[in-house]
Each structure stands twice: as structure tokens, then as C-alpha cells.
């Protein structure tokens, strides 16, 4: 949430039929702990993901959504597939994915947004070289406004606030809530993970406490479905790519004023082969598909 106001800029609002978001958190693992983490994840109800387990195709992605393992297998060259999708959970040279369906409802409350959401599932991926990734899948309520979807994205991706404007949130259930996304994840969703994170290289002069990622913010992958009559313009796609929801007065904002600047952003970051029906927006903050189909 920026601490400035934009003036004399007209911002259209859209109704979002469906919004699915993924929040990705990279981390470093302690030395020689990957095998014990692999075993613990399976004890905690996480399935080891392999392409031959076709019953997992519709388990993690929300109602009426299926990810075809057959199609995934056809995407990668044969010499890459064993690394991306190892067949055994003990193969340390591969990206070992463990997934668990949650399908639980939580709430998120910010200064200008309050909403429920469905936490669909979590992936924990053990990579080579003591690297790991956590992927959190979220489904938002139907028919939220475009600005609300972007604002939710902006609030949820702040793991640990380093500026005052990011600190005014609550997340959880009516019985237990938290004031940081980091606390929600490591105290409610995955408390066992704290014992495996390597924090010894954290720079004590830096305001944040989470190693190995930038500015305490998660990377976002999004799928947003608009109503068929919606008409997107360059500034609307810029808002999504820069994750510009509400300003410090609670008004929708763009994050830029110069049309030429936004046009250059569009040229560099938007894939529009199927415009004006579908666009892909790729930035340092998110990868999003926004579509009317």
C-alpha cells in the first residue's frame, strides 16, 4: 500500500468471476536434513508427487480443476523429466514435490479489504543444493472487484512487514488469527517447517528475518477470469503486473501516471497473442493469466 495519492486518473473497475492465486516462498534448508524432511512430510499427510499417480490430478487445484499428468509429461524433454518429476522420494538430484490438500476457509483483513478465502493446498518442494520452495494455492470468492483481487494479492505476499503500511493485517479463523503471513504459515499451516529452515546466514543488519528471498515478499502466480464484456486497457494490465490495489486512502490506484511508461511496460511484460480475450503478464513480482474465457 503506497503512501501517496494519484489524482486526475480514471480507473475502471471490473468484476472478477474467478481468481486463483499461488504464493511461492523459496528458502534454504539446513544441511543433511532433506531425507528427514521428506519422511516427516509424508507423516504429516503430504503426498509425494509423481506423474504416474493420476489420482492426484484433481486433488490440489480446487473444484472442477484438473491438471493432466499426461500433458505435463509431454512438455519436457526426456532428459529433463527425471529431474523435474523424480519417480522416487529419495532421489536428491531431483525436485521432490510433496503436496497436501487443505480445502479450508480462512479470512484476511486489511485496512481497506476484508474477505474470506479458500486455502486449497500447499506444495513443499525439496530441491538440490539445500534449496526448498513452498507453494500456497488460494481461491478467492466469486465476483470480487478487480482492485480487491489485486489488494488481496498485495497483502498476502508480504510475509513479514518491513514498513508500517504493510503491518495492519489479520489472517486466520475466528478462533485463531495472526498479524503476519509468516506467523500464519509457520504457526498454523506448517509449524514443523521451522525446524528445517537454515537461518544462520541471515544478515542481522537487514530489517527482515527470512533468508534467501527479496524484500520479504512472495512471488505470485495468478489465474483471473473476468466477465465476457470486460474491456482491458494498458493501465489495467500495468496495475496487475505491479500489484497496485488500493492507496493509503483506500482508493484504487495505478502506480504510474505516464502513458508512455505504461506502454513500454506493456511491450516488455505482456504477452497478447490472444488479445483482447486473454493476456499473460510477467514481471519480477508475478506471472498472471487474465482472461475472459
For residue 173, which phi and psi values (nearest 5 degrees)?
-125, 175
- Domain-wise residue ranges, the chain: 15-291
Closest by CA to 27, choosing from 278, 228, 219, 205, is: 219
Q: What pLDDT shows up at residue 162?
A: 73
Cβ–Cβ contacts within 10 Å for residue 143, how many?
12
3-state secondary structure of 261: helix
Q: What pLDDT shows up at residue 136?
A: 98
The Cα 184–Cα 21 span in angstroms is 17
Percentages helix, strand, coil for the chain (3-state, rounded to 5) are 25, 30, 45
Q: How far is CA 116 from the centre of its chain?
A: 16
Residue 166 banded pLDDT, cuts 50, 70, 90: low
pTM to 2 decimal places: 0.91
Torsion angle in degrees (nearest 10) through CA of 178, 184, 188, 193: -140
Question: Mean pLDDT, to the nearest integer, of 125-136?
Answer: 95
Torsion angle in degrees (nearest 10) through CA of 193, 194, 198, 204: 150
Q: What pLDDT shows up at residue 75?
A: 87
Q: What pLDDT shows up at residue 36?
A: 96
Residue 76 banded pLDDT, cuts 50, 70, 90: confident
Question: Looking at the DSSP assignment, which residues form a beta bridge with residue 292?
Answer: none
Give the β-pairing of 96-109 and 114-126.
Answer: antiparallel
* Percentage of the residues of the chain whose pLDDT score is greater than 90: 78
For residue 122, which phi and psi values (nearest 5 degrees)?
-135, 135
H helices then E strands: how many in the chain? 7, 12
* Between 125 and 215, residue with greater pLDDT: 125
Cβ–Cβ contacts within 10 Å for residue 58, how many?
14
Amino acid at each position: 500500500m503506497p503512501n501517496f495519492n494519484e489524482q486526475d486518473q480514471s480507473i475502471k473497475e471490473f468484476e472478477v468471476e474467478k481468481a486463483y492465486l499461488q504464493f511461492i516462498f523459496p528458502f534454504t534448508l539446513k544441511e543433511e536434513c532433506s531425507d528427514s524432511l521428506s519422511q516427516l512430510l509424508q507423516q504429516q499427510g503430504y503426498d509425494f508427487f509423481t506423474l504416474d499417480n493420476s489420482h492426484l490430478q484433481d486433488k490440489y487445484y480446487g473444484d472442477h480443476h484438473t491438471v493432466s499428468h499426461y500433458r505435463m509429461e509431454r512438455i519436457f524433454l526426456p532428459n529433463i523429466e527425471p529431474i523435474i518429476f523424480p519417480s522416487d522420494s529419495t532421489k536428491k538430484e531431483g525436485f521432490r514435490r510433496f503436496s497436501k490438500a487443505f480445502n479450508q476457509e480462512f479470512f484476511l483483513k486489511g485496512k481497506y479489504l476484508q474477505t474470506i478465502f479458500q486455502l486449497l493446498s500447499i506444495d513443499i518442494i525439496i530441491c538440490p543444493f539445500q534449496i526448498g520452495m513452498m507453494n500456497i494455492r488460494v481461491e478467492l470468492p466469486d465476483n470480487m472487484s478487480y482492485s480487491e483481487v489485486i489488494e488481496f494479492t498485495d497483502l498476502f505476499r508480504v510475509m513479514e512487514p518491513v514498513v508500517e503500511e504493510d503491518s495492519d493485517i489479520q489472517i486466520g479463523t475466528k478462533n485463531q488469527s495472526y498479524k503476519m503471513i509468516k506467523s500464519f504459515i509457520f504457526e498454523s499451516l506448517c509449524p514443523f517447517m521451522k525446524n528445517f529452515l537454515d537461518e544462520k546466514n541471515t544478515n542481522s543488519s537487514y530489517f527482515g528475518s527470512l533468508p534467501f528471498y527479496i524484500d520479504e515478499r512472495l512471488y505470485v502466480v495468478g489465474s483471473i477470469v473476468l466477465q465476457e464484456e470486460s474491456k482491458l486497457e494498458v493501465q489495467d494490465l500495468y496495475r496487475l503486473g505491479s500489484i497496485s490495489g488500493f492507496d493509503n486512502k483506500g482508493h484504487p490506484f495505478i502506480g504510474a501516471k505516464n502513458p508512455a511508461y505504461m506502454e513500454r511496460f506493456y511491450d516488455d511484460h505482456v504477452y497478447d497473442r490472444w488479445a483482447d480475450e486473454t493476456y499473460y503478464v510477467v514481471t519480477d513480482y508475478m506471472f498472471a493469466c487474465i482472461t475472459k474465457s
